[in-house]
Copies of this chain bind each other. A is one copy, B any other.
Amino acid sequence: MKLAVIPGDGIGVEVTAEALKVLRKLVPDLQTTEYDLGAKRYNATGELLPDAELAEIRQHDAILLGAIGDPRLVGPGILERGLLLNMRFQLDHHVNLRPSRLYPGATSPLAANPDIDFVVVREGTEGPYTGNGGAIRVGTPHEIATEVSINTWFGAVRVVRYAFELAQTRRKHLTLIHKTNVLSNAGAIWSRAMETVGAEYPDVETAYCHIDAATIYMVSDPSRFDVIVTDNLFGDIITDLAGAVTGGIGLSASGNIDASGTNPSMFEPVHGSAPDIAGKGIADPTAAILSVALLLRHLGRDEDAARVEQAVEADLATRGDGPIKTTEVGDRIVASL
């Protein structure tokens, strides 16, 4: 297995080290190439994602990313657009896969402590994330700025199909989250994609939910969700909330997947680089380790993926409320594999 590793910034470096420990244990022939990309590199050289490096990264089976960003070194948006989203778009990571499970032992802020086990299929290459839009008369009283959400039938149908396939392997329930009553042009594509593709999956029950109402269900009745499919921005929002109600985004894994297999897929924790706790060895590497499970499953190693998830589950169940030590979590999980 040839893996491109981008530890990135802050706690990204720390959690990636633990994720790699776990992966090495399961994949003895693992070959890694590390790429120094992120805030420090940009700050020192002005480079974000040079073409040559991206070309090299493409030669790998998958990418493992820690976290990107350091507000002390780089202003908002630069690394996001120039590196992270750049990679998602150039490698056609149209499926942004984000499972949410409330593990026994994890602490939900919800009083009801409900059964939560769903997966969000977030579109990853369209919507308001395309960088389309602009501004005129900037800095004057007449400034106008636009953000253009781009939505295609092609783009919606392929993730909707992915979501139906996934739902078939689970509880056979798929919810579209959108805002069709206001964003009617984009909404029409998504609704029609659900109907058209859904006709091929008569065994999967479908539901629809506006994004605003979805946030209510996420705290009042999250058990209703099995698979969710949604656009890039709504998926960004709902998966952070999903992470929060399942014990914090320190546990939330994600895969940026090119489902066609043309480009390597990229696996990363949902959390950021957390400069406030970086370097202290107290970041929870669980999200990065669960991202390794997604990576393994993506590469066809279902059994290894399940072993990682079981090890995480066991660790969370016995962990208690004490402070976390990053390396100890990794060691415990490696030991229990």
Contacts and interface: CB of A to CB of B under 8 A. Distances in A.
Given A237-B215, A243-B216, A128 B149 contact: yes
Interface stretch (A22-30, A43-51, A151-159): A151-159
Given A154-B141, A182-B128, A216 B240 contact: yes
A188 B136 CA distance: 12
Interface footprint category on A: 35 or more
Nearest to A114: B109
Interface string A234-255: 0011111101110011000000
A169 interface: no
A32 interface: no
A151 B142 contact: no
Contacts of A186: 133, 145-147
A40 B153 CA distance: 34
A29 to B, nearest CB: 37
Given A146-B150, A149-B146, A150-B146, A219 B133 contact: no
A76 B183 CA distance: 11
Most buried by B among A76, A108, A188: A76
Contacts of A211: 236-237
Copies in the complex: 2
Interface stretch (A77-85, A258-266, A299-307, A309-317): A77-85
B142 A146 contact: no
A199 interface: no
A81 B182 contact: yes
A87 interface: no
B111 A133 contact: no
Given A76-B181, A109-B112, A215-B244, A153 B146 contact: no
Given A181-B77, A237-B211, A141 B128 contact: no
Interface of A: 76-77, 80-81, 85, 108-113, 128-129, 133-135, 138-154, 179-189, 192, 211-213, 215-216, 218-220, 233, 236-241, 243-245, 248-249
11 contacts: A77-B180, A80-B181, A133-B186, A147-B148, A148-B148, A212-B237, A212-B241, A213-B240, A215-B240, A216-B244, A220-B244
